[in-house]
Homo-oligomer: A and B are copies of this chain.
Amino acid sequence: MKTIQVKLIVIGVIHSPYKRVEEAPRQGTGDISEIEIFKEYERGLTDISDFTHLHVFYWLHKSKGYKLMVNTPWDYRPHGVFTTRSPHHPNPLAYTVVTLLERNENILRVTGLEAIEGTPVIDIKPYIKKLDLKNDAISGWSENVEFKF
């Protein structure tokens, strides 16, 4: 197993209505979370209010272990882990597109996050339509799934 030893910089923390892993919904909800970006990185948020959607990257510090074949709640067949958005990938790196409701200094109010209180945030990138919008995408086994949150 090849690994790289890295020091992840924690740029902020998620404040969420979900306090325990069991309470966290599966993907994107209408519930409001707050992303607190630490003051030393606040300047990096300049102009962010002009964006409606953001990519948020966070580290699932409570995630333990993974399997290469995964049972999802959305299908009766198991699927390869890299075709699922399961939180249990080889690296506990989580990624969600959120809707930015409001920025107040170093606090971003968002919907769409499924993370629990205290989850460390490691990056934010803008959702740029010309790069991220793939209208012709076909989503494999999940193509016709009615996700219910």
CB distance from A126 to the nearest CB of B (A): 5
**Which residue of chain B lies nearest to A145 when distances are taken between CB atoms in the complex?**
B130
A57: chain B residues at CB < 8 Å are 93, 95
Is A136 an interface residue, CB under 8 A from the partner? yes
A22 within 8 A of B: no
**Chain B CB within 8 A of A104 CB:** no
Residues of A33-67 whose CB lies within 8 A of B:
37-38, 40-41, 43-48, 50-55, 57, 59, 61
Contact with B along A85-116 (1 / 0, CB 8 A): 10001110101110100000000000000000
**Given known A53-B137, A139-B51, contact A93–B4 (CB-CB < 8 A):** no
Q: Which 8 A-B pairs have the closest CB atoms?
A: A46-B80, A50-B140, A44-B81, A44-B68, A43-B68, A51-B140, A2-B10, A82-B124
